[in-house]
Amino acid sequence: MIRFHFLLLLLLLCLCLFSFSSVSVSSEECWVRCGAWRVAGEANNLGEWKAVPEECAEYVKAYMTGKGYLADLDIVSKEAAEFARTLQPAADGKDAWIFDIDETLLSNLPYYAAHGYGLEVFDHEKFNDWVEQGLAPAIEPSLKLYEDVLNLGFKVILLTGRSERHRSVTVDNLINAGFKDWNQLILRTPDDQGKRAILYKSEKRSDMVKDGYRILGNSGDQWSDLLGSSVSVRSFKLPNPMYYIP
């Protein structure tokens, strides 16, 4: 009788471990592929993409809500702060650090959590409704970097793809989330509508350079925040596997 119970328990244990390990193998392969897809995006190896690949929906959700996203934000912010500390902003107040807003200073994760974490194709109307609530929380490692560069004496310039009509709600949201003392907040004017982000942001950086600013640092979650012309001395790509803006 004792031997029987022992065997039964051992059998159950084996079954449990076996089913656990076979689930892990198939999901591990998908996880590896989706990890490779995410890293390819961060390294700017992917072409334009419209939505998260269907097989990666669970992976992206786990990444965004788990430790991975935070760890990635953390190291980018620390590397940027370390670079900033090697610089000596000049007394003329023309050394600038640019920050993008969405997924850089403010997190729209509450919105994306309700919309498949990037699995759904981007819906401007619904997203605007969310923006107009002004409830996006701060991305904490970015807030830390923001304060660091201000304290070091940089001028902070905010350059966002949001529209001028969202200026007031954006200002309120930023202030409520803890951001302050920026030098300029640049939003898309009616003239900028329809321009690709990489062109719009390059033009605005070119204006900054014409105004005498030296762009030493630039933080953004899209490569279109960072590449183009009048680029920063160093650029910092924050993680974002949820959407791609060309």
Contact region with a copy of itself (CB under 8 A), list: 79-87, 116-124, 126-134, 137-145: 79-87
Give the residue, chosen from 21, 24, 27, 44, that forms a contact with a copy of itself under the rule CB under 8 A.
Answer: 44
CA dist list (Å): 42 to 16, 29, 135, 178: 37, 20, 27, 27
Residues 6 or more apart whose CB falls under 8 angstroms from that of 151 comprise none
Determine if 5 is a binding residue for a copy of itself (CB under 8 A): yes
- Amino acid symbol at 148: D
Q: Give the span between the Cα atoms of 246 and 224, in whole angstroms.
A: 6
Residues 6 or more apart whose CB falls under 8 angstroms from that of 204 comprise 159, 186
Determine if 91 is a binding residue for a copy of itself (CB under 8 A): no
CA dist list (Å): 178 to 45, 104, 117, 138, 236: 34, 14, 25, 7, 21
Determine if 75 is a binding residue for a copy of itself (CB under 8 A): yes
Give the residue, chosen from 59, 111, 179, 236, that forms a contact with a copy of itself under the rule CB under 8 A.
Answer: 236
Alpha-carbon dihedral sign for residues 235, 87, 139, 204: negative
Per rule CB under 8 A, count of chain residues that contact a copy of itself = 37
Q: How far is the CB of 93 from a copy of itself (least distance, A)?
A: 26
CB nearer to a copy of itself: give 37 or 111: 37
Question: Residues interacting with a copy of itself, by CB under 8 A?
Answer: 1-2, 5-6, 9, 13, 28-29, 32-33, 35-40, 42-47, 67-68, 71-72, 74-76, 79-80, 82-83, 235-237, 239
